[in-house]
Amino acid sequence: MPVVSIAREGNVAVVTIDNPPVNALSQAVRQGLLDAVTALDADPAVVAVVLQCAGRTFVAGADVSEFGKPPQEPHLPDVVSAIENTARPWIAAIHGSALGGGFELALACRFRLALADASVGLPEVTLGIVPGAGGTVRTIRLAGVEAAVDLVTTGKPVRAGRALELGLIDEVVDADLLEAAVALAKDLPNRTLPEPLPQRPAPVADDAFWTDAEARITKRARGEIAPLRALACLRRATESDFVTAMTFERATFLELRAGPQASALRHVFFAERAAPKPAALSGVPALPLRTAAVIGGGTMGAGIAAALRDAGLPVILIERDEAAVARGIANLSDIFAGAVKRGRLTDAAAEARIAGVAGSTDYAALADVDLVIEAVFEDLAVKRDVFAKLGRICRTDAILATNTSYLDPREIAEGLANPARFIGLHFFSPANVMKLLEIVPTPETGDATLASAFALARMLGKIPVRSGICEGFIGNRILKRYRAEAEALVRQGHAIASIDAAMRHYGFAMGPFEAQDLGGLDIAFLQREGARAAGRNVPETLGDTLVRAGRKGQKSGGGWYDYNVGDRRPLPSDEVARLLCLDPATAVEADLGSIADRLVGAMADEGATILSEGIAEKSSDIDLVEIHGYGFPRWRGGPMFQAASDH
Ligand code: 3HC
């Protein structure tokens, strides 16, 4: 079956792209489209052409897997231009997503129809590139400067309704898309054709607009270059003629495509798509997950409950007493109220979210749930007690999960009848926001339970990473090493503020010490104290010295830094210097890059050990953990990608 085929509906030709899974514009598709233009232009019986796609979506873009290789003819801009200049008008019939090169293809058509649930967009910046086939130059002519800047520099797609408002499509279709497109094609002789985009004038914007946009994007990008380069393409589109702007955009695309940021972002793109599909589970069906319960309504429990509600599952929230239930529900209400405030939920949707939560102190309420996630205090005895009750009350096929961060899931599950349904599900706070979910099976966890955990991640929109059992699993184990290395730098005379500055400069939102001050130093301290009390040899850290002196972070008025009341800006602290015997006057001079390299190198080194122990299955999983759980800059690809690129 050819990837591009032509059929007839009377005097209308229907060109169908069929290149599963997402109709990406591979070399064969580009060639097929060019051949279709030539064939149809030569056919006097054809009055118009409908371009549609088979399968789940319209064209989702250029074929990203071709990006690492030399470009092959025909190039996409030539295909787009051939369609734009064809003797017959082409009509794009969009279902699913028209993204990147797919949307650029649609922009070459004279008309664009889309199903109401379709979306269109230019997500190239998320791959470290800019549109490469006229996306900036044509979009700005249709949607105007502001909307084009928003679309192209964020890369966020828009739904058909919004696309219609912006002028990016011509019609939203509710019923049969092909029928509507063919009807339009047949009606074309009665319509005035819109002017081709190259002949339309580009809108303009003043210097102040561009300066302001540049400042905003620079701040948001934290070192990522594509959004700023996309802005430059848009500006050029307003200041040059069509052809010059197209040449500028293509050159920028080719330059970025060959660069390190695009290569890192491609790595993340494929890593994210590989993570939810572990080979070992192929063909294992997941159990149905229709109802869920969360044990513990603290910050973590409420966040998990919110994530479950966001995915549409009814939730039972269990707490020890009525007051704790009320606090848990209040925590949930706060989360949804915050979403309303940020414009992410309507009032009515927030109310419906809360209405789907039933608070209870009685485990008997869990007799029929499909999934229980325990998020109580990190104490083995308390957790075991919870699972003993769950084991007695829940259905034997219900999945019982612990959200422990540091305890050994095998010990938590001890004594549980049917341990095959037990698993660790490690969420990251705030659990309704953070994308990472570490999935931690014990040796006894059954395949169906594991497959269901991956299915749950999909339902919740999380990136699942399977982790073996070790202290801290993948993420917190690397975090521990990262912090230890940062402390080693301090001991060697580096200024605390320089280390934080180095990591911000690298692309993190915060450095290691600022992050500890925000989250609190006491949690890790108490853990170490617990291990010491259990007779383990845990060396004293600099953080321990600060906590012992009452410096637990921002919440206690200071940690690694001092803070003025009501002000989160970190100030170098004389008290810290004294407590840790640091002499700021003799601080080591080091460039920010070498500090960051050392810290990222330590993360990668720990990652390599984790991989060699089989705790992580693939090195790209470790990168995903760091990117989605710990703020590692996505455009750097993760510590393992960085280490591999350095050699
Ligand atoms: N190229 C190659 N493969 C792609 C692809 C692309 N553009 N987009 C998706 N795929 C592959 C995925 O790797 C995955 O493969 P697998 O099954 O072997 O793992 C498969 O298609 C399905 O992808 P998803 O799991 O992401 O499927 P979803 O249904 O969840 O999402 C989608 C579909 C919304 C289309 C999503 O795949 C997506 O956002 N794709 C990327 C779109 C994109 O970034 N396009 C721009 C490309 S750059 C470009 O066009 C440059 C141009 O300006 C010149």
* Beta pairing partners, 121: 99
Which pair of tokens denotes residue 587?
């601080």
Q: Which of 115, 138, 239 shows the shortest CA–CA distance to 195?
A: 138
* pLDDT of res. 128: 97
List CB contacts of 94: < 8 A, sequence separation 6 or more: 58, 106, 112, 113, 114, 115, 118, 120, 160, 169, 177
At residue 625 the predicted structure's pLDDT band, cuts being 50, 70 and 90, is very high
Element (H, E) at 307: helix 299-310
Number of Cβ atoms within 10 Å of the Cβ of 304 = 29
Tens-place pLDDT, residues 430-471: 999 999 999 999 999 999 999 999 999 999 999 999 999 999
Radius of gyration of the chain (CA): 28
CA atoms of 640 and 345, how far apart (whole Å): 37
| Amino acid code (one letter) for 321 | D
* pLDDT of res. 47: 93
358 close to 315: Cβ distance less than 8 angstroms: yes
Nearest-CA residue for ligand 1 atom 38 is 60
Phi, psi of 128 (to 5 degrees): 75, 15
Residue 120 CB less than 6 A away from ligand 1: no
**Which ligand 1 atom lies nearest to the CA of residue 100?**
50
Residues tagged active-site: 104, 124
* pLDDT of res. 465: 97
Q: Which of 84, 14, 16, 3 shows the shortest CA–CA distance to 46?
A: 14
Nearest-CA residue for ligand 1 atom 32 is 60
Cα of 161 vs centre of ligand 1, distance in Å, is 22
* Beta pairing partners, 463: 436
Task: Name residue, tokens 């934080």.
Answer: 500
Percent of the chain at pLDDT above 90? Answer: 89
Cα of 440 vs centre of ligand 1, distance in Å, is 28
Q: 3-class DSSP state for residue 608?
A: helix
Residue 401 CB less than 6 A away from ligand 1: no
3-state secondary structure 527-579: HHHHHHHCCCCCCCCHHHHHHHCCCCEHHHCECCCECCCCCCCCECCHHHHHH
332 close to 345: Cβ distance less than 8 angstroms: no
Residue 61 CB less than 6 A away from ligand 1: yes
87 close to 49: Cβ distance less than 8 angstroms: no
3-state secondary structure 131-186: CCCCHHHHHHHHHCHHHHHHHHHHCCCEEHHHHHHHCCCCEEECCCHHHHHHHHHH
What are the DSSP calls for 408-429, one per residue?
Answer: -HHHHTTT-SSGGGEEEEEE-S
CA atoms of 493 and 42, how far apart (whole Å): 76
Least reliable range by pLDDT among 67-71, 547-551, 621-625 = 67-71
Nearest-CA residue for ligand 1 atom 45 is 61
* pLDDT of res. 282: 83
Q: Considering all CA atoms of the chain, what is the largest pairwise distance in Å, rounded to the nearest integer?
A: 88
**Which ligand 1 atom lies nearest to the CA of residue 123?**
44
* Kind of pairing between the strands at 4-9 and 12-17: antiparallel
Alpha-helix runs per DSSP H in 177-241: 177-187, 207-221, 226-239
* pLDDT of res. 71: 83
At residue 138 the predicted structure's pLDDT band, cuts being 50, 70 and 90, is very high
At residue 427 the predicted structure's pLDDT band, cuts being 50, 70 and 90, is very high
> Please, how many CA atoms are within 13 Å of residue 142, restricted to the half-sphere of its CB?
28
What integer best gives the mean pLDDT of the chain? 95
Which pair of tokens denotes residue 473?
């699993």
Cα of 97 vs centre of ligand 1, distance in Å, is 10
Tens-place pLDDT, residues 199-209: 999 999 999 99
Tell me the CATH architecture of domain 475-614: Orthogonal Bundle (1.10)
Tell me the CATH architecture of domain 4-258: Alpha-Beta Complex (3.90)
* pLDDT of res. 244: 97
Residue 233 CB less than 6 A away from ligand 1: no
Domain assignments of the chain as residue spans, ordered by start: 4-258, 279-466, 475-614
Tens-place pLDDT, residues 327-377: 999 999 999 999 999 999 999 999 999 999 999 999 999 999 999 999 998
CA atoms of 281 and 454, how far apart (whole Å): 9
Cα of 158 vs centre of ligand 1, distance in Å, is 16
CA atoms of 333 and 321, how far apart (whole Å): 18
CA atoms of 554 and 67, how far apart (whole Å): 45
Mean pLDDT of 130-144: 97
Ligand 1 pocket check: which of 3, 19, 22 to mutate, most ligand atoms within 8 Å of Cβ?
Answer: 22
Residue 643 has pLDDT above 90, yes or no: yes
Residue 64 CB less than 6 A away from ligand 1: yes
Residue 568, judged by CB atoms within 10 A of its CB (0-12, 13-18, 19+), counts as: exposed
Q: 3-class DSSP state for residue 221?
A: helix
Domain 279-466 falls under CATH 1.20.1300.10: no
CA atoms of 154 and 426, how far apart (whole Å): 30
Nearest-CA residue for ligand 1 atom 36 is 60
List CB contacts of 476: < 8 A, sequence separation 6 or more: 405, 406
Residue 455 CB less than 6 A away from ligand 1: no
Residue 647 has pLDDT above 70, yes or no: no
Q: 3-class DSSP state for residue 340?
A: helix
Sign of CA dihedral 379, 430, 476, 402: positive
Which pair of tokens denotes residue 255?
């330059």
* pLDDT of res. 41: 94
CA atoms of 520 and 418, how far apart (whole Å): 38
Number of Cβ atoms within 10 Å of the Cβ of 42 = 9
**Which ligand 1 atom lies nearest to the CA of residue 135?**
53
3-state secondary structure 490-522: HHCCCCHHHHHHHHHHHCCCCCHHHHHHHHCCH
* pLDDT of res. 216: 97
First CA to last CA distance, the chain: 43
Which pair of tokens denotes residue 544?
């321990």
Phi, psi of 409 (to 5 degrees): -55, -30
Tens-place pLDDT, residues 602-617: 999 999 999 999 999 9
Residue 211 CB less than 6 A away from ligand 1: no
At residue 191 the predicted structure's pLDDT band, cuts being 50, 70 and 90, is confident
Task: Name residue, tokens 């999960």.
Answer: 401
- Please state the pTM of the whole predicted model: 0.94
* pLDDT of res. 587: 78
Nearest-CA residue for ligand 1 atom 30 is 273
* pLDDT of res. 316: 97
513 close to 561: Cβ distance less than 8 angstroms: yes
274 close to 349: Cβ distance less than 8 angstroms: no
CA atoms of 588 and 137, how far apart (whole Å): 49
331 close to 302: Cβ distance less than 8 angstroms: yes
Tens-place pLDDT, residues 259-283: 999 999 999 999 999 999 887 888 8
* pLDDT of res. 585: 80
* pLDDT of res. 189: 84
Least reliable range by pLDDT among 146-160, 188-202, 537-551 = 188-202
CA atoms of 629 and 644, how far apart (whole Å): 21
Ligand 1 pocket check: which of 105, 261, 273, 458 to mutate, most ligand atoms within 8 Å of Cβ?
Answer: 273
CA atoms of 378 and 524, how far apart (whole Å): 12
496 close to 559: Cβ distance less than 8 angstroms: no
Tens-place pLDDT, residues 73-122: 999 999 999 999 998 999 999 999 999 999 999 999 999 999 999 999 99
* pLDDT of res. 208: 97
